Structure 1
Amino acid sequence: MAKKCQVTYKKPMQGNNVSHSNRKTRRRFMPNLQNHRFWINNKNRYIKLRISTKGMRILDKYGIEKILNKKKIILDKLL
C-alpha cells in the first residue's frame, strides 16, 4: 500500500540528514499516517481510511461526508 494520505495526498518527502561536521546523507520524511475507520451516516456503515493526522483535523473541521463528496474517487473505491 502506498504511503500516501487518502484525503490530503501527502506523501514522503526527500531531504538530507546533516551531521555536526555538515556531512549530508539522503533521508526520507514520512507522513504521519494512521489507519482509522469513520462512520458514514447516509450509507449506515464504516469506511476505513489511511489518513494523516492533518487529514483527521480537516475531517473534524468540515465533516466526513463533505470531504468524500468532494473526492468522489475515494468514495467509489471504498464502497
Structure 2
Amino acid sequence: MSRKCQITKKKVKFGNKRSHALNTTKRKFNINLKKHKFWIKKQKKFIKLKLSTKAMRIINKKGIENVLKNIKI
C-alpha cells in the first residue's frame, strides 16, 4: 500500500534540497502516517486505518462515524 492517508488523501510530496551554495538535489517530503484501530459502535467491530496525524485530529473533532459517512474506503 502506498504512503497515502485514507481520510485526507495526503501523499508524499517531492521537492529540492537546497544547500548553502544553492545547489539542488531531489528529495521527498513524507507525511506523518500512523496505523490506528477504531471501534465502530453501529457495526460492533474494529476498523484499521492508515492516517495522517491531521486526519486523527479531524476524527477526534467530528467522530469516526461522521467521517466515514463522508469518505468511501
Aligned twin of 2:46: 46
2:22 aligned residue: 22
Structure with bigger helix share is 1
Moved over 4 A (4+): none
Secondary structure at the counterpart of residue 17 of structure 2 = strand
Aligned partners of 2:63 and 2:2: how far apart in 1?
24
If the length of structure 2 is used for normalisation, what is the TM-score?
A: 0.97
Aligned length: 73
- Between the aligned partners of 2:22 and 2:66, the Cα distance in structure 1 is 47
- The one-character-per-residue Cα deviations of 1:43-77 (angstroms, maximum 9, x if unpaired) are 11100000000000000011100010111x21xxx
What does 1:1-79 correspond to in 2, within 5 Å?
1-71=1-71, 73-74=72-73
TM-score, normalised via structure 1 length: 0.89
* Percent of residue pairs bearing the same amino acid type: 48
Provide the aligned C-alpha RMSD in A.
0.6
Segments of structure 2 that go 5 or more residues without pairing to the other structure are: none
